[in-house]
Amino acid sequence: MNKKIINKLCIIGVGLIGGSLARALKKAGVVGEVVGSGRDVSHLEKAKALGVIDHFETDILLAVKDCDMVVVAVPLGAMQSVFEKIAPVITNDMILTDVGSAKGSVVKAAQAAFNVIPETLVPAHPIAGTEKSGVEASFAELYENRRLIITPLETTSKNAISKVRAMWQACGADIIETTIEHHDEVLAATSHLPHMLAFSLVDTLAKMDAKNEIFYFAAGGFRDFTRIASSDPDMWRDICLANGDALVEMIKKFSDDLQLLSNAIEQNDSAYLEETFTRAKKARDEFCED
């Protein structure tokens, strides 16, 4: 029988990410009671009916009461509001963590809400997800063999870090620890920029007169590349604003390289094209397994 890592877990925002976390911990047998919280009662009722949570509370203060682990899985734009609501009941026995993809934004929200950031706050980010959203899209295997990044502050409790590590390891995740700044720079390049490209490409094509024909003849490569354009618009709006500085730098860099590619095509510079494509293929083959 597995030892319980968490006695009472509260997940604020029971969607794909929060719901999959609850499912994984239940499957591993390392969590006791799971409480869900959010504004949409029908959504929480669905989560309970699916067995993702044991019960729910729309009042966040009641939801987090007596919990030893609280996971905030709301859009980045709502993070400060959630922190402010739970600030009066945060204790040294309550570990607080999140799943946001821009850690600088989360820390700023915590600073504004708590004034003094709790030692039990462990900023974290699972590098996992799909283009689908909602608790009905959640599944227990989402985090297996996926990376989970922890970006603790200098004041973060070692015990809190250890507990959050253990929670995600129980889900099958590979834990990596880094700084907030490094996390946000890397994610701007590897996650946030690709989403911007997918959203922008689909939007450009959708505004063309021949859009129906364009999408009708779209092949597998187009579908694979643009799959992430089906992601939650509200969530990605918040991510853009939360990690704006790093993302804008990446967009500028990519725009410069794209202009060089356009120039090469216009000038029939086959050598530049071949060098670029060969370099890209080598990098993709070397660093990506699939």
Give the start-to-end residue ranges of the domains of the chain: 6-178, 183-287
pTM equals 0.87
Output the CATH code of domain 183-287: 1.10.3660.10
| Amino acid type, 256 | D
The pLDDT value recorded for residue 290 is 61
The pLDDT value recorded for residue 289 is 67
pLDDT category at 235 given cuts 50, 70, 90 is confident
Mean pLDDT score of the chain, rounded to an integer?
Answer: 93
The pLDDT value recorded for residue 217 is 79
Question: Token match 């600073």: residue?
Answer: 111
pLDDT digits (tens, 9 = 90+) for 184-214: 999 999 999 999 999 999 999 889 887 778 8
- Across the range 233-249, mean pLDDT stands at 93
The pLDDT value recorded for residue 132 is 83
Domain 6-178 CATH class label: alpha beta
C-alpha span between 160 and 90 (Å, rounded): 13
